Amino acid sequence: MIRLIKGFHDILPDETPKWGFIIRTAGETLERFGFREIITPVMERTELFERGIGQVTDIVEKEMYTFEDRSGDHLSLRPEATAGILRAVVEHSLLRREPILKVYTIGPMFRRERPSKGRFRQFFQINAEVLGDDSPFTDAEAITAAHAIMTNIGASGLMMEINSVGCQQCRDDFRAKLRRFLEPHLDELCPDCRRRYDLNPLRILDCKVDRCREIAKDAPVISDSLDAGCKEHFHKVQEILSLLEVPFRVEPRMVRGLDYYTRTAFEIIHEELGRSKAVGGGGRYDTLLKELGGPDASGIGFAIGVERLAMGMREEDPSYARRTDVYVAILGEKAREAGIRIVNSLRRQGLSAETRYSGMSLKAQMKVADKVRAKNVLMIGDDELARQEVTVRDMQTGDQFRISMDGIACYLQGDKR
């Protein structure tokens, strides 16, 4: 038997109704906020992610699935969606058509990180981006859209953790302060963080090694290095979120894991998930489009992990539990042709219908009807054929009725006269 690749996972039929509900709800919510769907390839040139995400990140240094194809090109499976979306925006000049562009995509991403509960090497994300507007109102609206997705899916215990990571000048000042703080502890840092000290010390604040985390908890916070413009921007974001009644708290040590963020950064906290509370996050990026060869336009985006989100939802829920309108129980050889005609007629009329053709007993077929959560069971055998009727059982009440074959669809669609 050939087994699944380590870190990948199958989404089985019992799970797909929940996943479908999440994806539909996210798409419908984002459409109400004015976002339109964009679909980009799962594979891009490696250079795109090195430039877009930053070479001094765990994603680029350790986690990307990268290979050289037969033409000698270096290609990578996408570890996140923003770089690919911005590549498409630049390549197709989308901002010339719409100075403010709102797009979303939902699909798989790939990172070779250590698998754990809710964390896989192929994982699905809901991603949304707003391009061309640097207003704090847009930041607040993006955070509100992320919160609305979670609320509409039915998640509770939600909190949006927010911070400002400042502009380039703020971060230069903060890096200098951070290096001064970390210098006496250099020998205590892990090898990766000792290298990050020179290249990008902010990454040390994201390190998961216990000693590095212990040292970092006493490090200066970036909010103390914000200039007047960044402070004003962040204050306005908080003011608007309060106006919109979106629950949030300021987390001054949040820097997020990607190099391109500027000013507003945030995480979506789902308190019901225990230790794995963060299901997504995002932030503003004011220079990334230009760095990728596009116009000098700002952006803000976010991503929500579908696996993490699905973990916090019940296995069975009326919102997404699969139901079948009718199960057709075929009793006897003579009824088989009539049964298949009825099943397919009902499907053509918009009803979900299921049956079995293998000569099962009525008792066995009623078990199948329970398994597919049929609302009604329609029984057809020799007696029903002779009368040109069927027997219909309402599976909720247990009531049974005889219905003419011509009136089956009307009855099932609500006309029960």
Q: Over the stretch 94-128, which tens digit does the pLDDT of each residue have?
A: 999 899 999 999 999 999 877 777 678 999 999 99
- Right CATH number for 16-167+227-311 from 3.40.50.1000, 3.90.1310.10, 3.10.580.10, 3.30.930.10? 3.30.930.10
Q: What is the distance between the alpha carbons of residues 411 and 215, in angstroms, rounded to a whole number?
A: 70
CA distances from 299 to 93, 141, 261, 287, 359 (A): 15, 12, 10, 8, 61
What pLDDT was estimated at residue 60? 67
Burial class of residue 99, CB neighbours in 10 A (0-12, 13-18, 19+): exposed
Binding-site residue set for L-histidine: 80-82, 111, 125, 129, 256, 260-261
pLDDT at 417: 43
Residue numbers of the chain with a pLDDT score lower than 70:
52-62, 118, 256-259, 272-276, 312, 315-316, 318, 415-417
Cβ(329)–Cβ(338) under 8 Å? no
Binding site residue list: 80-82, 111, 125, 129, 256, 260-261
Domains 16-167+227-311 and 324-412 belong to one CATH topology: no
The pairing of beta strand 248-250 with beta strand 158-164? parallel
pLDDT at 259: 65
Helix or strand (DSSP H, E) at 51:
helix 46-53
Residue-level pLDDT at 415: 47
What pTM was estimated for this model as a whole? 0.85
Domain spanning 324-412, CATH class:
alpha beta
User: Which sequence spans correspond to the domains of the chain?
Assistant: 16-167+227-311, 324-412
Question: Are 294 and 283 in contact, with CB atoms under 8 Å apart?
Answer: no
